[in-house]
Structure 1
Amino acid sequence: MTNSIKYPIRINRYLLLRNICSRREADRLITQGKVSINGSVAQLGQQVAEGDVVDVADSAKNREYRYFLFNKPRGIVSHNPQRDEQSVEDVSGLGNSVSPVGRLDKDSHGLMLLTDDGRIVHAILSPEHGHEREYEVHTDKYIKESDLKKLGRGVDIEGYITKPATTERIDDTVFSITLTEGKKHQIRRMCAALGYQVTDLKRVRMMHLPLDVADGKNRMLTKDEKTALLTKAGIKA
């Protein structure tokens, strides 16, 4: 990610692209006086020029981040809950100490990654990195083999052609699809474009991380899972 830095650049984005912390965390560290540019305490919104020396206090760089797998139940909102809606933070058992990486529709369920490490979000979600997310899809009628192939090749959803995906039949009305991108309601829109209605949608895998916890439950990543995650995100473990 460091190769993508174009100067001048805001200090919080610079720290994000250097895999030091998220932009929100950067703003917090800057406010606390823990970031300097050329020996002077950095200010919120300050620009970093090529050749500037940026330093972050060791206590901030050595922070221990947490990573959890969570099986989101159907009906729970992953972001921006409205009145009378329950959010992931409400039901995960982890509160707001960690946040979801990416979204999962209210009517969908399954695997979410929760963390307080904002450094990994862009690296995991950006289509340019090609990280896989696998889903189990139930439709309202028998899905034709030819349509499974169309879903794999790419479907026109309102003028956008989806990227190639991997599909596999599970049953007459059930199939799996593995995406490397995440447009809003993408799978539902892809199926609708071919005349199918999705009756159930479950995420069963994110990259190397499987859905292996019960509905509404969470677990912490193992040491090996965490190391692999950070490696895939381009961050030194």
Structure 2
Amino acid sequence: MADSISLNKFLSSTGICSRREADRWIEAGRVTINGRVAIKGNRVEPGQIVRLDGKPVGARPAPVYLAFHKPAGVTSTTDPKDPDNIIDFINYPERIFPIGRLDKASTGLILLTNDGDVVNEILRAENAHEKEYIVTVDRPVTPDFLQRMSRGVPILQVRTKPCTVERIGRRSFRIILTQGLNRQIRRMCGYFGYTVLTLKRVRIMHIELGTLPVGKYRRIDFPLAPADAPDR
């Protein structure tokens, strides 16, 4: 039908996820249309009932934007089958999902929302939003290591983009990336024979982790400017 809409776009338009996350939910069999398990490529027509995990997906809720200090051991996933998933850990009263990912062993700033449009804006590679990390490694950081890291490293069949890398301690450094390859910093360090011991994200764009305690969140406002809401 001319007025139908792709299922992943429908889910994203309700504000509960990005299109990418919607595709994962569909592939996992968590989405139904009129009681039938959906598949990628399905379209939604007016009057059809879409459910996620058995619950109806309705009108777009009021937008929620959170900055969260993720502890080590928490997984950046909405999958309820993962006992360490970030959603159960936060236990926010409304349905939200993480914007991007942070390794389970890593700590620091991660954003969560119910606004799928914002997710697409932040994760779109061409926007090159900065993400800043503090990293400790298993041996002394040398000038040669810093220089070669900053020039780009061949990992995952690509060369990473040039980035800012600054030594802040004998075995620690600060790195600012504008891309988000899988386990990028750990792979970059591994290429030069270094093992990452701790990795903490302290900034995404202009949003800083600051003094937010581990395991707590604070609300931020669109367009993702810090709000005056208290920490939780």
**TM-score (norm. length: structure 2):** 0.71
Residue in 2 aligned with 1:123? 121
Give runs of aligned pairs for residues 222-237 of structure 1, distance below 5 A: 223=221, 226-228=222-224
How many residues are aligned here?
189
**Consecutive aligned runs of 4 or more in structure 1 exceeding 6 Å deviation:** 13-17
Q: Which has the higher helix share?
A: 1
Counterpart of 1:148 (choices 146, 170, 178) is: 146
The match for 1:159 is 157
Alpha-carbon deviation of 1:95? 5.6
Q: How far apart, CA to CA, are the structure 2 residues paired with 1:194 and 1:83?
A: 36
- Indicate the SS of the match to 2:146: helix
- Spell out the pairing of 1:58-207 with structure 2 (5 A cutoff): 63-79=61-77, 85-94=83-92, 97-207=95-205
Q: Does structure 2 conserve the Cα–Cα contact (< 8 Å) formed by 1:70 and 1:114? A: yes
State the AA in 2 paired with 1:227.
P
Distance 2:10 2:223 in 1: 21
Shift in Å, 1:179: 0.7
Paired residues of 1:20 and 1:119 also in contact (CA < 8 A): no
Unaligned runs of 5+ in 1: 1-8, 33-43, 48-58, 230-237
Of all paired residues, the percent bearing the same amino acid is 39
Q: Specify every segment of 5 or more residues in structure 2 that has no aligned partner in the other structure, as ranges.
A: 27-32, 35-41, 46-57, 226-232
Residues 16, 167 of structure 1: alpha-carbon distance in 2 compared, 3 angstrom cutoff: farther
What secondary structure, in the 3-state scheme, does the structure 2 residue paired with 1:97 have? coil
User: TM-score normalized by structure 1?
Assistant: 0.69
Q: Is the 8 A contact 1:138 1:201 kept in 2?
A: yes
- Deviation of 1:66 after TM superposition, in Å, equals 0.6
Would you say the 8 A contact 1:16–1:119 is kept in 2? no
Mapped to 1, the partners of 2:9 and 2:81 lie a distance apart of 36
**Where does residue 38 of structure 1 map in the other structure?**
none
Aligned counterparts of 1:199 and 1:97: Cα–Cα separation in 2: 33
